[in-house]
Amino acid sequence: MRRAPSSIGPWVAAFALVLGACDPHVFHRPGTERGLTWIVARDAPASRGPAATAPALVARDAGAAGAPAVLPLARTRVAATLVGPIATIEREKVYAGSPRPLDVSVSFTPPALPARQDYAVRAGGRALTILVRERLEAQELARTLPDASLVGVDAEGRVVVPVGVLTAPTIDLDVETTGLVPWHDGAYELTIPRAPGGEVALAVDVWGPGPIVVVQSPSHAIDAKPESLEHLRVALRDPGTLRDDDFVLRYRVDPADHPGALVGEPDGSGDLVAIVVHPFETSHEAVAASDVTIDWNGTQVTETRPAAIGSVAAGTPLVVLARAQGHVQGPVVVHARVGRETRSVSLARDDAIPQAGLVALPRLWARAARAAVTALR
């Protein structure tokens, strides 16, 4: 059975609040304009079409009537950086343009899950932020972002967001997303939509944290090059096969051997850090945890997202973000009740994670902060 395309697969429901809302400034890159923010309102999953698609460029002659058509795709490059369940995915596409002015839009069908998706888009040099939400949440978010535009989906669940009139021989489309990879049957499982045409390249950097004991793809032949016990570089043996089917990558760090880590980067006079704990297991079976608390070992933590944890569903990675005064060296200890026993997980700081992996932290923090503001309204 073919899998429905999804940019990062279904996110974990228990942490939808952390990952679900996005500050539109979080994707801003120095030297570029802020761009426009579009909030997509869609209805309950039962009303959506089953086929999800990655963002693509559609166009028609400027001033013409009729439905736009997908532009010819020349090449696609996908790069993913994974830190345990935290995924940052960049997709760069180049389309054939036209010497005639074209009225260009970004079109896609979001997957049914997660309920929220955020897309940072640059199309023909123009910056867009596209936030997909259920209808009521989209309307509430639009009220918190007065400069944003609210748009709906069609009967098939398709989104069409206008870019503007462009005249160029080629038109670039860059899409960036950040989120959590789900844990499925004992491993993280990343799904990246297929590229329907043109030249294709895919590269994935996998960082444990901790020694990686499983890496495989049920969908494609891959080459996995170990840079260390905790770092793998994954590529498609035949890049062209990404045109035929969605790419699925499964990877696992044994949580009994290495339960997780503390990662972070400087944030003003302090640190922005993330606690990453792989799903709790008993005899290699995912189990739920309750009464979760964190001992910051004397670190002055000013805020955490989520503010309270409480419980963690079976098969759910624990990701907690925090702002701290000064440098957080660790160890940080996570206490949880698993069944009838209390487990304590000591997490040392992992400074081997590169900036490409840490760039997700401020983005996730901004989303969580925006979600908290929306929830209070």
pLDDT in tens, 223-245: 999 999 999 999 999 999 999 99
Q: How far apart are CA 279 and CA 281, in angstroms?
A: 6
Which pLDDT score, from 0 to 100, does residue 14 have? 33
- The whole-angstrom separation of Cα 31 and Cα 24 is 16
- Residue 134's nearest CA partner among 113, 107, 115 is 115
pLDDT of residue 17: 31
DSSP letter, residue 195: P
DSSP state of 278: P
47 pLDDT more than 50: yes
Q: What is the pLDDT of residues 139-180, one digit of tens each?
A: 988 988 878 999 999 888 899 999 999 999 999 999 998 888
Compare 325 and 231 and report the one with higher pLDDT: 231
Q: Which domains does the chain have, with CATH numbers?
A: 260-376 (2.60.40)
Give the pLDDT confidence score for residue 15 in this predicted structure: 34
Contact 279, 255 (CB under 8 A): yes
Give the whole-angstrom CA distance, residue 3 versus residue 247.
9
Contact 72, 61 (CB under 8 A): no
Task: Note the pLDDT of residue 8.
Answer: 36
Name the percent of the chain lying above pLDDT 90.
Answer: 57
pLDDT above 60 (res 9):
no
Mean pLDDT of all residues belonging to the chain:
85
Closest CA to 77 of 199, 225, 243: 199
115-125 pLDDT, tens digit per residue, is 778 899 999 99
pTM: 0.82
**Model pLDDT, residue 116:** 74
State whether residue 263 is helix, strand or coil.
Answer: strand
